[in-house]
Structure 1
């Protein structure tokens, strides 16, 4: 992909300006055009991985998600091509929108694109095409959605149909029903779970916030914008900390192949004025993510986004991932709706949180602890509250980072017996430099885990309950990647191989861990001392003494002196 020369005056950290975003959008749109059918209603991209929806639905997905990119780019030439495809699609090419079917997802992208570009696309269509298109979209108003972020797709379609005066009562009902539905999943502090349970991931940003805030903004509904915009603003205070100094988003959750769609809520906050971030910080984080992926093989030799993270990577895919799925990355170009003279484009880049300071940040809603270090720009996420309905390495490991990926050999796990699973996670709290949870492992044993973090160092303590005496226990740490060093040292209950056995009653296992890109860090054993017993006492070499106590109800953590700034 050919991009303009770096501008290190306006963007000293990424070199990336609005011109780079425009060039990237143009290149992606040009690359997909050869894969359109003759009538332009479907886009069939090459690839071995087929989604569960079938080739016709995959072709619609290719149309809808790249249309969204053309809409954000406001490319009138491209939009003319998509207008031709729309006319053909609603004349009988596209599959109908049915209950829990993939076309419902794509209808939302199409409706949003039509709403954003109404003078450029919709208003120029023939009346017959508009009638057929409205009727095709209208099925989304009553189609049953999967009970998760899908509930917002009828909201998005309803917003457009209400605006053009089509089935306004049904549209209003779909909007109200969808917005009411997501209230069940709003936790607090700007965080939603993606449906029932505790599924916390990027769907917060590229779905749960994006659609309600955009709907409120486009509708000019100040009441809704105050509600959803206020949640977005609070969310972004945590969200900004999920990006590493190299631009990488946190490698956690599902649908990671959407890549720089992670930037959508950053732009949305700037667009609506609902953000705690400065314009320069917003652009730095967004441009950092874009260049991170473009520099690491996200686009292949044909200019197509691949199914993966950097390059192709089946490990990050789901059953619904098809050849066009990566083009939800189009959402990352939302910022192009902002005019060229908006401060988010004209302000000088400012460092993101991972570049400004060493920080250990409690995120209460998902029960996460975020640990970042300025020297290497690494961000680590200690997960003590998020899990999928099944065991999923991208949800249920103890920790994730911006520089590592979940390993097949079960990194960041407590393995009781020969069972590495971690299910029924029960959050036990998060506070100043610590986080705790309890989960089921090893055929019914319960593991109570506490992590204390300072700088790049972690103290990981696990109490195993309910396992027969003599049950093997193994503790694993980070899976190191290129340029990063992973360390794990036994402290209590573990031998040099980080293995031990349970005794009678509760059994405590403690280790020190560190993930760092510093070339010569202080020896891990010199950073902290730990005394294990009925009370776990942790003495940081440059900070306070912290005491941890366990009981049947959970964990209590207290510092013996006020925490000093670190």
Structure 2
């Protein structure tokens, strides 16, 4: 690609595909370099005269236009730094000169309301967004130190340090933000400017990170149970990147095995089409979802082969580039494929999508690295059908080879902070029962997909705080369970004594969803919805089929519409089951499926109920006669318990059974 100060390409220009080296994606290291250059070129057209701010067009974030301009500088700096550092300092388009100029201009009079000055870094609840961007500035300076930082005059370096230290002297948000302080502190130390302040920031960040570790390579994003993509692009990336750059054997030995364990499950969350899982917040960062995969390949702490790692990385990069993530102006839009408001959060601004740059950490692997020289291999979702339970975060993954779709059943991640109790507003990115690589949740004002609700006094309940009850898997099947207190709005927020315990059991493309309701008020109704799908033609990915079949307890069925659609389709429909709720105990079982198979067998033929009572149901599967029994009980503390037993398949030595409480 040729970049000039005159005419610019209107679309990203990439080199020819190499299907011999990369039979799945056609992408090589040259494609990654060209993608970085193209994204940078498009963004730099919107720079201020002194290069301190990149004021990309679009609606501002909640932090305001000046903070958004700093975000444009900082996040594109990440891409440029990975690009130049990975090339051993080669900078054919002069990116680093621009960032050096911007650093000098932005730190000259920080906090001043002029054309170039950066905003000050204050507490997260006052003016916190600059703290987020300080980490990207610090990492960019660290990666390019010998070509940028070391060539600055002392005055600029001193001013930059003073601005960065604002991140160490103010209060972060109570989550991954403490790692922004960590990134700033480790850069200052690497530049010979460390002291007690940087050491305290490092120790505090690492201490909190330890308290958030839940096992199996998964961290909660702060106190509570928020498990999402921040695991990869923040909680693993920052400590591992420092350890790798510092060649810190102790830190690599501590964090490396956790990254390996995380990737052992997380690698299955990418669909065969390259799509990452649409789950959690900040999804407009798009192919940043591959950051942990890249960090694992670069550092050597990964269970994946180099060919499989590149398959995942290039697959997700190509997925978005092929589906319009960059418009005719070459800028990453605020959304998923293209613009999509429901994907966004209040902190999302025009430059926010450029945290996708985190995936360019892959370029730290030089051209001769196996990540780039090995032949691409299939992604985990392109192998046999798989079911993987992750008890630590309370997630259940289900992939099917016939269509390449991966589904995530959520029984453990809720993004409810401890001080919020049960009254937090509904969040479609965490509160739904299931997510996938081919569907997104419906918008908050539309009928919810993949949702079990109690309807009382004209209000429909939401699921907020999720209490996991366990998860497990066998050969080709698995389950996860949880319970929650339904929350209502408008009206009284809670119904005393009302509880819902839920189990999802999966095998093949089938999902057995069972719910046990206790304490429903008189006149209450219950409903269960399935996957939200459109006609499948919006992005040319082919049709999906969503179905929901009643097994026990349900008396009505229909289809509801979601005119606002999802991130995948402009307009969606959602299958729904309904029933009246008895005043004491109700048990409801249904089969659900999401498939891209051209002629799937009807759900009614997949399984039958053998026995059902107030607190248990037993199902026989038609294909091999295997049986699944799900039972609910009340524990000694009065809280729900669930037991899942599966017999007749999944064990070469005879019946397989797993009990979960």
Identify the TM-score tier after normalising by the shorter chain: over 0.9
| Cα distance in 2 for residues equivalent to 1:138 and 1:161 | 9
1:551 aligns with 2:568: no
User: What TM-score, normalized to structure 1?
Assistant: 0.98
Aligned-partner SS, 2:188:
helix
Identify the match of residue 278 of structure 2 among 226, 232, 251. 251
Asked if 1:57 is matched to 2:81, the reply is no
Q: Which residue of 2 aligns with 1:288?
A: 315
In structure 2, the residue corresponding to 1:424 is in which secondary structure? coil
Partners of 2:298 and 2:623 lie apart in 1 by: 42
Corresponding residue for residue 450 of structure 2: 412
1:78 counterpart = 2:95: yes
For 2:198 and 2:246, locate their aligned partners in 1 and report how far apart those are by CA, in whole Å: 13
Partner of 1:541: 622
**How does 1:104-183 map onto structure 2 within 5 Å?**
104-183=131-210
Which residue matches 1:102?
129
Contact 2:72–2:352 (8 Å) recurs in 1: yes
Residue number in structure 2 paired with 1:503: 582
Q: Which protein has the bigger helix share?
A: 1
Q: Secondary structure at the match of 1:423?
A: coil
Contact between 2:556 and 2:579, CA under 8 Å: does it hold in 1?
no
Rounded to whole Å, the distance in 2 between the matches of 1:272 and 1:295 is: 29
Kept after mapping to 2: 8 A contact 1:241/1:353: yes
Q: Which residue of 2 aligns with 1:521?
A: 600
1:35 matched residue in structure 2:
46
* Cα distance in 1 for residues equivalent to 2:249 and 2:548: 52
How far residue 338 of structure 1 moved from its aligned partner, in angstroms, is 0.8
- Unaligned runs of 5+ residues in structure 1 are none
1:226 matched to 2:253? The reply is yes
The aligned residue for residue 357 of structure 1 is 384
Q: CA deviation at 1:562?
A: 4.9
Shift of 1:469: 4.2
Q: Hey, what does 1:19 align to over in structure 2?
A: 30
Residues 1:560 and 2:658 are matched in the alignment: no
- Asked whether the equivalents of residues 519 and 585 of structure 2 are also in contact (C-alpha less than 8 Å), the reply is yes
Q: Which moved more, 1:142-151 or 1:162-171?
A: 162-171
Q: What is the SS of the residue equivalent to 1:91?
A: coil
Mean alpha-carbon deviation: is it higher for 545-554 or for 233-242? 545-554
| Residue matched to 1:387 | 414
Kept in 2, the 8 Å contact 1:447–1:465? The answer is yes
In the TM superposition, 1:159-558 aligns within 5 A as: 159-389=186-416, 390=424, 391-407=426-442, 408-417=446-455, 418-432=459-473, 433-441=478-486, 443-444=494-495, 445-481=498-534, 482=536, 483-497=543-557, 498-534=577-613, 535-543=616-624, 544-553=626-635, 554-558=641-645
Is the 1:57–1:103 contact (alpha carbons within 8 Å) kept by the matching residues of 2?
Answer: yes
Structure 1 residue 468, shift from structure 2 partner: 2.4
Counterparts of 1:179 and 1:212, CA distance in 2? 8
Q: Deviations over 1:394-427 (max 9, x none)?
A: 0010000000010131011112113141123110
Per-residue deviation, residues 462-504 of structure 1 (Å, max 9, x unmatched) = 1111102441111111112411100001111112411111124
1:142 is displaced (CA, Å) by 2.0
- Separation (CA, whole Å) in 2 of partners of 1:475 and 1:96: 48
Alpha-carbon distance between aligned partners in 1 of 2:504 and 2:526, rounded to the nearest angstrom: 18
**1:564, CA displacement in angstroms?**
4.5
1-structure distance, mates of 2:351, 2:408: 30
Distance between the aligned counterparts of 1:409 and 1:332, measured in 2? 34
Q: Deviations over 1:333-374 (max 9, x none)?
A: 111111001000011111111101101110111111101001
| C-alpha distance in structure 1 between counterparts of 2:647 and 2:384, whole Å | 24
Following superposition, the deviation at residue 12 of structure 1 comes to 0.8
Farther off after superposition, 388-397 or 233-242? 388-397
Separation in structure 2 between the aligned mates of residue 152 and residue 235 of structure 1, nearest angstrom: 18
- What is the alpha-carbon distance in structure 2 between the residues aligned to residue 374 and residue 472 of structure 1? 37
Can you give the 5+ residue segments of structure 2 that lack an aligned partner in the other structure?
1-11, 85-89, 110-116, 417-423, 489-493, 537-542, 558-576, 636-640, 657-661
Q: CA deviation at 1:245?
A: 0.5
Query: 2: distance between equivalents of 1:81 and 1:504?
Result: 68
Instruction: Output the CA distance in 1 between the equivalents of 2:212 and 2:289.
Output: 20
What SS does the corresponding residue of 2:108 show, helix, strand or coil? helix
Q: Deviations over 1:511-547 (max 9, x none)?
A: 1110000001122222222234233112223342121
Does structure 1 conserve the Cα–Cα contact (< 8 Å) formed by 2:551 and 2:608? no
RMSD: 1.4
> How many Å separate the matches in 2 of 1:224 and 1:257?
31
Separation in 2, partners of 1:226, 1:541: 48
Query: 2: CA distance between counterparts of 1:266 and 1:113?
Result: 20
CA contact (8 A) 1:42 1:59 kept: yes
Provide the rounded CA distance (Å) in 2 between the counterparts of 1:14 and 1:197.
Answer: 38
Equivalent-residue separation in structure 1 for 2:620 and 2:123 (angstroms): 57
Distance 1:469 1:420 in 2: 15
Contact 1:159 1:219 in 2 (8 A): no
Secondary structure, counterpart of 2:604 in structure 1: helix
* TM-score, length of structure 2 as denominator length: 0.84
- SS of 1:447's partner is strand
Give 3-state SS (helix, strand or coil) of 1:3's partner: coil
Q: Kindly tell me the number of residue pairs found equivalent between the two proteins.
A: 565
**Residues 552 and 612 in structure 2, CA contact (< 8 A), matched pair in contact too:** no
Aligned counterparts of 1:107 and 1:401: Cα–Cα separation in 2: 33
